[in-house]
Amino acid sequence: MKPYLESVRRLTRVGLILFALSVIASAVVSIQYCTALYHSNVPGMTRMFSPLIAFIYLGGVVLAMDGFSFLNKRAESDFYHSLPVSRKKLFWAITLAALTWIAATVLGSVLITVIVFTMTRTPFVQLYALIAVRFFTVGAMMVFAACAIAMSLTGTTITGLGLTVLVFGLLRFMQFSVARGIVANTQIISWLDLPWYLTPVTNIATGQIAQLMRPMLRQTLYSPLNILYSAGVAAAQLVLARALFTRRQSELAERGAKNATMQTAFACAAVIPVVMLFSSGIIIQRNLSIPIVIGIAIGIYLIYQIVVLRTAKKVLLSLPWLLIPLAIGFAGYFGTIGAANVMQNDVPDTQDVAYIQFGGESRGSEAITYQQYMVSKVRFTEEDLLQYAVETLRDNIATIRRSGYINYPYDEQTGYLLVSQPVTFVLNSGRRISRVITFVNKNALLRYCEQNGDFYAAVRSLPPRDAVCYLQGDGPYQGGFLDNKQILAAYHEELPTTDFTASDSYRYYDPFAQYNVDAEQTFGSLSVSGYVGMTRFWDYYNIRVSMPRSASAWMRYQNERSIGEYLPLMQQMLEKSSTLTDSSDYFSIGMMFYNVPMSDGSKQAVSFYYDRSAFDSAVEMKDRLHPALVELAEIMQRSKPTTNPNDFCVFTNWSGRVHKADGTLYGEEILLQQLASRGDGTFVSGGSVFYVSNGNVIYGGMGGMITAYNPCYRAFSEADQARVIEILQQWKSVQDEYNYNAYGNAQDNALYIGELSAVATPTPAPAN
């Protein structure tokens, strides 16, 4: 017990510094995140505990270097070797003392992070806290163990740090190189499909570095199995370090290595990462690249040996040892090619497949859709689908061998609907084979999948309401969340009554169809994010005319938060816009009309845009439209807000900066008092930030500019509807004529804006 307490005391200064830095950094990062104005999703583990990622490496190395610092000084080394304490006890005392400080630092940092998130009422995945303590403690101990091995093999700080890098990362770099080579050569295996012995994240310490280069690996990095495996590796490394420590001679202090043989071994280890580049596929094997890489490897070896051996004779005598890393490099290259070929040829027979599972197109993303999460749990046993998947995999492999890569032409067979899906084949024996398969036609794949009832339900499933943490970027304690919750509730009730999937990625797609017609007309998308267990989801639900209650709730939400439409000012600036002279003056307006009658009897959502400036192009076209648009602006002032999704209505955004004849700006009184308000009492003065009712944040400078990006849905009186449609007909006709004359785009005479009589009688607004 006494050696342990003494070791804890010796590490107190370094331990307290690391503890303070980590806790303060965790608090600062958490406060910065939690006080941000806008969050779109629940943070991931990497984002939430980013200071602890740095602590894994800094804390592990510093505590090991300080705890075993006496090994690098001859006098102190002799003293510790003369103590009446067994070396085993001394090693474990230092190790347990370091573990104490590491665990305390990790626990303190996790606690302060959780406290900040809780006090600011910022949603987070609660299981992360339990995982983080074990994960970062084990990760730091892996680095500590690697450094302890290095300290036991060398006697200087510089060589100790260098050897720590080799012990810590050499084998994992070799593994990463082979894995990357397999991914590059097979073209049908992703990083998430590799067998466990090639997956970079099984070792969580080096896995943190790998996930920075391959973010998709974050999905599996924090697995409890990886933590358990890494804890076993750390324990084995500590046992090895203890064995080396007990056999270490005091004379090694202040020396780079025990003897020339060890120096040569270090030099060979330093060369291996270079010769492994061929295995990774980063460098293609060509006549020129081979001598360059070999030359670099020889150069590194010679420089290292010259520095440590100091005599040309010893350096020359050690040259034959260079053949070992070169042989490892060549073996790694040919081994990678062979393994890639074996994996590529590993295609199961249909009768051997028990079922398959689909991981989803965005499997490696930080947050997936809830529907993808549900689909990933579905087991497909349908024989037609199993055969289709196996045959497509074989066809992918044949295409790679024929062209060198997956190459399918865009023709009638593919339907312009190529889609790549990660597929896991689970064989009758229990063996799993995971591949990324490119299906030539997404619609064909969906038809096969929909034979499975669980899939049909999964793509139409919605997350539990208590799992939702953000709606349109508003957290559960913000006003916008409660209002958007009504939209989500209506969506939950209406989606099952339609044929739509919750996520458009799982619906049939026609590349030649229009998705702005009749029931397909979309008013916007509701952003929904949260988590289930440790899986974070982020969905967008399209609010369509076919869901009248949801659409009505959406329109009501937008209308209630609509401020600053400035319709009279819009008309004044529009009238003046045809004679702009100031180089900074401009006017632009965008209008989305819903339920516009078309000649084929359908109703469509149609957008129009008009802009003017002192440097106008297409002046003749804009001058022709100008009187009609001024009249439309006047009609807009007589329009009324509506929440009926079946109304002929408009959603208008406009902005402008226009001088009057006397040199003053239109809307000066607005510019003087314009504030960007969020609606919860907070604001930013100066008018440079605009919070739009759908949750977006728009930045714009002053400079005399008026912006109206927060409108409401407006319907026209029966008396005005006919004239508005006539204006739209003229607007579209002039634009079509201009596009034909300027760009040669042929006019589509088959479909055009129809007459008012084509508009079906609007159904009543949905009841609240």
Q: What's the token pair of residue 625? A: 């439209």
Average pLDDT over residues 551-559: 93
| Residue 643 near residue 713 (C-beta atoms within 8 A) | yes
Over residues 595-625, the pLDDT tens digits come to 999 888 889 999 999 999 988 877 888 888 8
How much is the pLDDT for 516?
Answer: 84
Which pLDDT score is estimated for 686?
42
Task: Determine how many CB atoms are found less than 10 A away from the CB of residue 27.
Answer: 16
Phi, psi of 20 (to 5 degrees): -65, -45
pLDDT value of residue 756: 66
User: CA 497, 502, 504, 508 torsion: positive or negative?
Assistant: negative
Task: Using alpha carbons only, give the angle 371, 373, 376 rounded to the nearest 5 degrees.
Answer: 105
Query: For residue 679, what are its two tokens?
Result: 């609606």
> Residues of the chain with pLDDT > 90: what percent?
50
Number of other residues whose CB lies within 10 A of the CB of residue 524: 20
Nearest Cα neighbor of 61 from 175, 165, 201 is 165
Mean local confidence (pLDDT), 155-183: 90
Q: For 568-587, write each residue's pLDDT tens digit.
A: 999 999 999 988 888 889 99
> Does position 565 have pLDDT exceeding 50, yes or no?
yes
Cα–Cα distance for residue pair 418/361, rounded to 1 Å:
12
The residue with greater pLDDT, 368 or 290, is 368
Question: Can you give the residue ranges of every domain in the chain?
Answer: 1-159+190-250, 259-342, 350-458, 468-556, 563-758
- Could you tell me the two tokens for 242? 């203890």
Give 762's pLDDT tier (boundaries 50, 70, 90). Answer: very low
- For range 511-537, the mean pLDDT: 87
Tell whether the torsion through CA atoms of 198, 199, 205 and 210 is positive or negative. positive
pLDDT tier, 301 (very low <50, low <70, confident <90, very high otherwise)? confident
- Mean pLDDT lowest for which of 370-374, 427-431, 633-637, 706-710? 706-710
pLDDT band at 675 (very low <50, low <70, confident <90, very high): very low
Q: State the pLDDT confidence band at 289, using cuts at 50, 70 and 90.
A: confident
Rg, C-alpha atoms of the chain: 34
Banded pLDDT at 414 (limits 50, 70, 90): low
Q: Pairing relation of β-strands 522-532 and 468-471?
A: antiparallel
Using the predicted structure, report yes or no on whether residue 685 has a pLDDT greater than 50.
no
> CA–CA separation, 577 vs 582, rounded Å?
11
d(CA 38, CA 41): 9
Instruction: Decide: 211 and 46 in contact? Cβ < 8 Å.
Output: yes
Q: Tokens representing 146?
A: 């690697």
From 90-104, 532-546, 703-717, the region with the lowest mean pLDDT: 703-717
499-511: pLDDT as tens digits: 889 988 888 887 7
Q: Write down the residue that tokens 């995945």 correspond to.
A: 125
pLDDT category of residue 760 using cuts at 50, 70 and 90: very low
Whether residue 493 has pLDDT greater than 90: yes
What is the pLDDT, as a whole number, of residue 680?
Answer: 43
Query: What pLDDT is recorded for position 425?
Result: 96
Q: Give the CA count within 13 Å in the CB-facing half-sphere of 15.
A: 20
Q: In the numeric block, which tokens belong to residue 531?
A: 């988590």
Please tell me which residue, 159 or 225, carries the higher pLDDT value: 225
Strand, helix or coil for residue 520: helix
Average of per-residue pLDDT across 334-347:
92
Amino acid at 452: N
Beta bridge partners of 417: 441
Work out the pLDDT band at 94, boundaries 50, 70, 90. very high
Query: Quick check: 751 pLDDT over 80?
Result: no
Question: Is pLDDT of 240 > 60?
Answer: yes
- H or E element at residue 649: strand 649-657
| Confidence (pLDDT) at 688 | 47
Taking residues 192-204, report their average pLDDT: 91
> What is the rounded average pLDDT of the residues 352-374?
90
Using CA atoms in the order 539, 545, 547, 549, what is the torsion angle rounded to 10 degrees? Answer: 110
Decide: 453 and 520 in contact? Cβ < 8 Å.
no
Report the share of the chain in percent with pLDDT over 70. Answer: 89
Span 34-69, pLDDT tens digits = 988 788 889 999 999 999 999 999 999 999 999 988
Q: Is the pLDDT of residue 303 over 50?
A: yes
Residue 201: count of CB within 10 angstroms of its CB: 25
Residue 676: the pLDDT is 45
**What integer pLDDT is reported at residue 743 of this predicted model?**
66
Q: Tokens 């697995």 identify what position? A: 223
Helix axes 204-213, 127-153, angle to 10 degrees: 110
- Chain centroid offset of residue 268 CA: 39
pLDDT of residue 594 exceeding 90: yes
> Band of the pLDDT at 310, cuts 50, 70, 90?
confident
Q: Are 132 and 49 in contact (CB under 8 A)?
A: yes
Nearest to 479 by CA among 189, 693, 248: 693
pLDDT, averaged across the chain: 86
Structure tokens at 188: 């049908």
**What mean pLDDT is predicted for residues 302-325?**
84
How would residue 712 be classed by pLDDT, with cut points 50, 70 and 90? very high
Instruction: Return the closest-CA partner of residue 94 out of 14, 179, 10, 160.
Output: 10
What is the rounded average pLDDT of the residues 645-668?
89
Rounded (10°) angle between helices 2-10 and 87-119:
60
* SS3 at position 262: helix
DSSP state of 278: H
pLDDT of the residue at 757: 60
Structural contact between residues 32 and 25, judged by C-beta atoms closer than 8 angstroms: no
Query: Of 62-76, 225-239, 378-392, 661-675, which gets the smallest average pLDDT?
Result: 661-675
